[in-house]
Structure formats: C-alpha cells, structure tokens
Amino acid sequence: MGGRTRREIYLGEGSGTGSGSQHLYVNMGPSHPAMHGVIRIVAELDGETMVNADVEIGYLHRAFEKECEAGPYNNAIPYTDRLNYVSPLINNFGYASCVEKLLGIEATERCQYIRVIMSEISRISDHLTCIGASAMELGAFTVFLYMIKAREYLWELVEDVTGARLTISYARVGGVKADLPDGFALKVLKAFKETRQVLEEVDKLLTGNRIFMDRMVGVGALSRAETIAYAITGPLLRAAGVSYDVRRAQPYWAYDRVEFEIPTGRNGDNYDRYLVRLAEMEQSMRIVEQALDALPGGPINVDWEGRAIDPASYVDRGKQGKTEGLLLIPITLSPNLAGLERPVHRAVNVADKRVVLPPKEDTYGSIEGLMNHFMLIMDGYGIRPPKGEAYFAVEGANGELGFYIVSDGTDRPYRVRCRPPCLPPMAALPRMIEGEMVADVVPTFGSINMIAGELDR
C-alpha cells in the first residue's frame, strides 16, 4: 500500500494532495462480478488511474485445516476437493502423498502413473477455465464457450474414473479409490484430439488479436526479482522467465520418467501468463500420452469358478459358513465400487493393512478381512502414522501446492497446514495494479486465477 495505513486508504487521509484531493475511493467487490463474490478491493482512484489498493480476502474461509485435524486421516480427502475445486485431483494426491511420507510408504508403480495422468488432466481443465473466464471478462464470450466445451471432454474422463466431475474424493492414503476403467486410454486420446482442435481455434481468436493484446501486453507486469520476492510460483513465475516447476525441481510420482518442457515468458505481464498457460496444456497432454504408454499392468483377474457372483450372494454364503474357495471367486461389483476387485486392488494400493482397506472380496468373504476393514474405519483406530512431521509439495495448476502434517501417533493429525499457491499472487495484486487503469484490474485479477477455496481455505 506504499506505506499508507488501511485507515488512510479508506478515509482518504494523507493522500498528499491536501484537503482538496479529488481522489475517489471505490469498492470493487465482493459483489462485483469479476471478483467472484469473494474478494474486496478498496481502490483509491485518480480519475481512471489506480493510485492505491487494499485487497481483502477471507470471504470463503471455512477452517479447512482445523476440519482436517478433527477426523481421521482419510476424512480430509473430501475437504481437499474444495481447495482448488477446478483441479481437485491434484489436491487429493498431494495430501495423500504427505501422509504416505509420514508413514514411510510409497504408492505402487501403477498408482503413481495414475496420479500423474489424472493430475495432468486436471491441470488442463484448470487452465481452460482460467483462460476462458478471463477472456469472457474482457468480452471474448466465444472463447469462453469454446474452452468450456473442451473442459467438458476432460470432465467426462474424470467422471469415468472417479464417478464425479468436481468433488471427486478419488485419492486414498496408500493408493486411489479404484483403477482406470476399460478403454480409458482410447477415450483420453479422443478427448485430447478434440481439445487440441479447440486450443487451435482459441489461439487464432486470441493470441494475435489486436484488442486482446492491447488489454494484456505490458499490463499487470511483475519483474523477475519482484515475483521471486513475493514467493510466487507456477505460471506467474514462469511468465517472468523463471523455469521453476516442482515436477522438475523435486520430481515425485512418475514425473521423472516422462519428458516435458517448462514454458517460460520474458515480461511477466498478463499476456505472457496467457501464453505460458496455453503452452502448458500441450505439455500436460504430452505427459499423459507418455504415461498411458508406460502404464504398468496390474495382476490379471482369474475367475476360479468360471463365473463372478454378486455381492449379496457372496455375503450370504459367508454367513452360512460356505467359505471354501470363496476368496478365489471374483465379485461383480456395482458401478460405484467397480475397480476395487482384489487383483486391481493390489495394483493401485500399497500392500499394507495399516493403511488400505481390504478388497471387497476379503471384507465380504472372511472374518479377517472384515476385522481389518472395521479396524481402519472405527473411531480411535484407523491410520496411525508414527510421531513426526512431513511436508510434501506438488505442482498445482497455480503453482506449488504444499501440505505440512504433524502426527502425534493417534488416528487423526495433530496439525495440518496447506500452502495455497494463489495466496502469494494475491498478496502482490496491489503492486500489479498500482498505476494501471481501472479497466486493467479485471484482466490482471483474471491472470492470477484466484480460486477462493484454495486462497482462504
């Protein structure tokens, strides 16, 4: 705020222009459509020029960290969905990986590849939303429709895998909820082909568009030194020319086994941020295609009696004591549980009874499996990492998304802390818009891609 107090900005005191100051003090948000109902900017204006700004956040605070500390470790998964709700899979996997680090366990090879695949599909969805919404706020409504059309292709993939589109709760400590469905790779290639066509159309509509360039080039710029000083990561840092990416700097999961480039800009302005995100979507598709090609296979499902039976019949036989050979018979699970059969279960989850629920065949067909299941979900039991602390960072759509967890040896975390990637850019927003026109606030704010669930937590 340039050394001025909040009171001075709100009341117009100390502006340096004397008692006859013509500076105007205006609230942008939280009800302004471009502020999404969750951000308030108290702007000091000299005509149409932004002299000072005070950004107020917290309108969507929901005590995410304390909620995570109130229940068992896996209970936090749905809460992580609501951080960056445009790319929730990345949040899911980042949190689960932090707990796994506490436990000293590592996900299976297949699970690591699945996490990479689903994270990159989420990243593309996030960038599509960011560019589409930002373009719409500048008047390019056609671009918004095109981008949402492309996002729909990807959300259908997410729905096929997780059963939901937005609040997916797909990750588990030690693995994932279920394996990829049959024919998934072909669906991905088809969706990517259609997405690339959309991106080509948007590139023609926007990238060289004179109106778009006038609104974006040189606007909202941060220098390389300023960007680093604000601890900004992700597309905004790379737009300033710093090729830092958590996937490359501190490889995790299977990112060290795929080839990809880190797009960077030079000027650190809104236009470079747009170009970086546009290029990152192609790199994400490239990563997914490589991961699908290298995806390790899981055990093959062998039908012991030549047929599968439904869960109800399976349970009835177990209750009657007819358990001979029961654990070798596959179950035809309902769609919401498909992908959890025993052979698949071993491929996507760690072989550790302390962490992972047993496959449904074991739960339904043996007292040991049932006991294991109960012990993991009963209050006071569950997942119990040893005393200690861990931090795990992933490359979210907006930058470094980190989780810090402290364990006191019980079945629920003693402390959970989230490093939200869009908080540092929001702290730098007054600096970005200072000296710019009022109309420039909208594209600059859009270039940050602020997601309030992640920002406020």
Q: What is the pLDDT of residues 383-434, one digit of tens each?
A: 888 899 999 999 888 889 999 999 888 888 999 898 999 888 888 888 888 8
Determine how many CB atoms are found less than 10 A away from the CB of residue 402: 19
**Same structural domain, 159 and 250:** yes
* Contact assessment for residue 435 and residue 49, using Cβ atoms and an 8 Å cutoff: yes
Residues 170 and 315 in one domain: no
Report d(CA 369, CA 224) in Å as an integer: 56
Find the helix or strand (DSSP H, E) in which 58 lies: none
Q: Kindly report the CA angle at 41 between 36 and 45, in degrees rounded to 5?
A: 130
**Contact in structure between 271 and 216 (CB atoms under 8 Å):** yes
Average pLDDT estimate for 191-208 = 90
Q: Taking all residues of the chain, what is their mean pLDDT, rounded to a whole number?
A: 82
Give the chain's radius of gyration (CA, Å).
25
Task: Match 């999961």 to its residue by tokens.
Answer: 253
Q: What is the pLDDT of residues 337-347, one digit of tens each?
A: 666 667 777 77
Residue 181 Cα to chain centre, angstroms: 22
Check pLDDT > 60 for residue 6.
no
User: Between 398 and 377, whose confidence is greater?
Assistant: 398
Contact between residue 69 and residue 308 where contact means Cβ atoms under 8 Å apart: no
Helix or strand (DSSP H, E) at 130: helix 109-137
Same domain, 207 and 140: yes
Q: How much is the average pLDDT of 230-241?
A: 89
Residue among 128, 146, 139 at smallest CA distance from 33: 139
Go through the chain and tell me how many residues it has. 457
CATH number at residue 117: 1.10.645.10
Do 333 and 427 lie in one domain? The reply is no
Tell whether the model's pLDDT for residue 367 goes beyond 50.
Answer: yes
pLDDT tens, position by position, 250-296 = 998 889 898 989 998 888 888 999 999 999 999 999 999 999 988 88
pLDDT for res 179: 83
In this structure, the answer to whether residues 274 and 331 fall within a common structural domain is: no
**Listed residue (444, 74, 446) closest to 222, CA to CA:** 444
Q: What is the rounded (10 degree) CA torsion for 209, 211, 217, 221?
A: -130
Question: Could you tell me how far CA 22 lies from the centroid of its own chain?
Answer: 44
Is residue 134, in this structure, part of any structural domain at all?
yes
Same domain, 230 and 332: no
Q: Which residues pair with 53 in a beta bridge?
A: 43
Q: For residue 285, give Cα distances in angstroms to 48, 192, 206, 297, 365.
A: 42, 7, 21, 21, 42
| 14-20, Cβ contacts within 8 angstroms, sequence gap of 24 or more | 15/44, 15/51
Do 372 and 406 fall into the same domain? no
**What pLDDT, on the 0 to 100 scale, is given for residue 439?**
85
Both 329 and 447 in one domain: the answer is no
